[in-house]
């Protein structure tokens, strides 16, 4: 099988696409869409988001050291895109997209009520990497929407129809192929 050689680039796709909510020191909320988000540690639970320095939310993140990662769904795809292309300098994204800001339990940034999962985060370190600044953060609280819980109180994110992002296109996650360890389980 032939392979074509390309110049170095970020080809780690698809990515989760999330809406990150912040609030400035005066409590004014904003939402930024981020595809460069990920888990960096499980104990303690830590995540990272990467944000361009020129984005409106970057100085808010630096000033407050807090944010909420809100998972996205097929139902939130339009709002997710809008919050990625419109600037909080110009519009109130909560108002324009009819999203509900809920108070978080620990951080001052709001949760997005329509999101199936919200991760409250406190920044522990900022790395200036070039085109993006990486905000590494501890997850200090997690909120899960009860409508995605089964009768045994097991959470089913797949019921929410989560979306991903790849090269400028949003996708749903698709069908289930197996669960962790299925390749070695006895039949």
Task: Kindly report, residue by residue over 2-20, the tens digit of the pLDDT.
Answer: 999 999 988 889 999 999 9
Assess if residue 3 is contained within a domain: no
pLDDT band at 177 (very low <50, low <70, confident <90, very high): confident
Look up the CATH number of the domain holding residue 34: 2.30.110.10
Q: State the pLDDT at residue 9.
A: 85
pLDDT band at 179 (very low <50, low <70, confident <90, very high): confident
Assess if residue 128 is contained within a domain: yes
3-state secondary structure the chain: CCCCCCCCCCCCCCEECEEEEEECCCCCEEEEEECCEEEEEECCEEEEEEECCCCCHHHHHHHHCEEEEEECEHHHHHHHHHHHHCCCCCCCHHHHCCCCEECCCCCCCCEECCCCEEEEEEEEEEEECCCCEEEEEEEEEEEECHHHECCCCCECHHHHCEEEEECCEEEECCCCCCCCCCCCCCC
Assess if residue 93 is contained within a domain: yes
Assess if residue 56 is contained within a domain: yes
Task: Kindly report, residue by residue over 8-56, the tens digit of the pLDDT.
Answer: 988 889 999 999 999 999 999 999 999 999 999 999 999 999 999 999 9
Task: Kindly report, residue by residue over 65-117, the tens digit of the pLDDT.
Answer: 999 999 999 999 999 999 999 999 999 999 999 999 999 999 999 999 999 99
Assess if residue 6 is contained within a domain: no
Note down the domain range covering 85: 15-172
**Tally of domains within the chain:** 1
């Amino acid at each position: 099988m032939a392979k074509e050689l390309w110049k170095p680039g970020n080809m780690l796709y698809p990515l989760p696409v999330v809406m990150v909510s912040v609030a400035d020191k005066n409590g004014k909320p904003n939402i930024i869409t981020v595809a460069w988000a990920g888990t960096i540690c499980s104990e303690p639970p830590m995540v990272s988001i990467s944000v361009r320095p020129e984005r409106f939310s970057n100085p808010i993140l630096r000033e407050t050291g807090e944010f909420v990662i809100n998972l996205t769904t097929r139902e939130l795809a339009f709002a997710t895109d809008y919050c990625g292309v419109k600037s909080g300098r110009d519009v109130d994204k909560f108002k324009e997209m009819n999203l509900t800001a809920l108070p978080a339990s620990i951080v001052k940034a709001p949760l997005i009520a329509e999101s199936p999962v919200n991760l409250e985060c406190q920044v522990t370190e900022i790395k200036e990497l070039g085109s993006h600044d990486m905000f590494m953060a501890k997850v200090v609280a997690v909120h899960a929407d009860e409508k995605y819980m089964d009768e045994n109180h097991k959470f089913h994110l797949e019921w929410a129809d989560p979306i991903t992002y790849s090269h400028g296109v949003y996708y749903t996650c698709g069908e289930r192929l197996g669960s962790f360890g299925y390749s070695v389980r006895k039949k």
